[in-house]
């Protein structure tokens, strides 16, 4: 279903208003998402394999510190591979502007409104 001329004009106006109000949001939403780094995934997979081999080597030789070292290496590989999928843009979630009043001021306002209601 095609949009009417009026709807197209309204959408254009809304887009222009958004562009003037928050250009960072517009650029973040229109940017192509970054693809995960293939090299980083391969390094992560290699570290996982090396860590598991070290872990099993420590288990077979019954040397606990080698097994722990293997686990740490494998965990580092998993973290490295997963972090390549994380978004790299500096876009942060929009936060609600907080009131600058202190807690005592807010409690006084509540007390005053409660007194006025009765």
pLDDT at residue 87, rounded to an integer? 62
Any residues with CB less than 8 A from the CB of 54 and at least 6 apart, and which? 66, 67, 69, 70, 73, 74
- C-alpha triplet 91, 93, 97: angle, nearest 5°: 125
Looking at the predicted structure, is the pLDDT value of residue 91 above 80? no
Which pLDDT does position 98 carry in this prediction? 59
* Residue 73 belongs to some domain of the structure: yes
Residue 45 lies in a domain: yes
Please check whether residue 113 lies inside any domain of the structure.
no
Q: What is the mean pLDDT of the chain?
A: 80
Q: Which domain holds residue 46?
A: 37-85
Q: How confident is the model at residue 74 (pLDDT cuts 50, 70, 90)?
A: very high
**47 within domain boundaries:** yes
**Does the structure show a pLDDT above 70 at 89?**
no
**Is residue 65 in some structural domain?**
yes
Instruction: Name the residue among 44, 69, 39, 45 with its Cα closest to residue 56.
Output: 69
Q: At residue 94, does pLDDT exceed 70?
A: no
The answer to whether position 76 is within a domain reads yes
Nearest partner of 86 among 33, 45, 29, judged by Cα: 33
Residue 50 is predicted with a pLDDT of 95
CA 19 from centroid of its chain's CA atoms: 23
Q: 58 with 64: CB under 8 angstroms?
A: yes
Residue 110 covered by a domain: no
pLDDT digits (tens, 9 = 90+) for 22-61: 777 777 666 655 566 788 889 999 999 999 999 999 999 9
Is residue 44 domain-resident?
A: yes
The number of domains in the chain is 1
């Amino acid at each position: 279903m095609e949009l009417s001329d009026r709807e197209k004009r309204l959408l254009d106006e809304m887009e222009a208003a958004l562009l003037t109000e928050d250009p960072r949001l517009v650029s973040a939403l229109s940017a192509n998402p970054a693809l995960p780094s293939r090299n980083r995934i391969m390094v992560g997979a290699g570290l996982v394999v090396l860590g598991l081999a070290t872990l099993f080597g420590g288990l077979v030789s019954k040397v606990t510190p080698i097994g722990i070292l293997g686990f740490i290496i494998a965990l580092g590989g998993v973290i490295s591979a997963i972090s390549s999928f994380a978004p790299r843009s500096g876009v942060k979630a929009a936060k609600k502007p907080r009131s600058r009043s202190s807690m005592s001021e807010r409690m006084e306002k509540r007390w005053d409104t409660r007194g006025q209601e009765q």
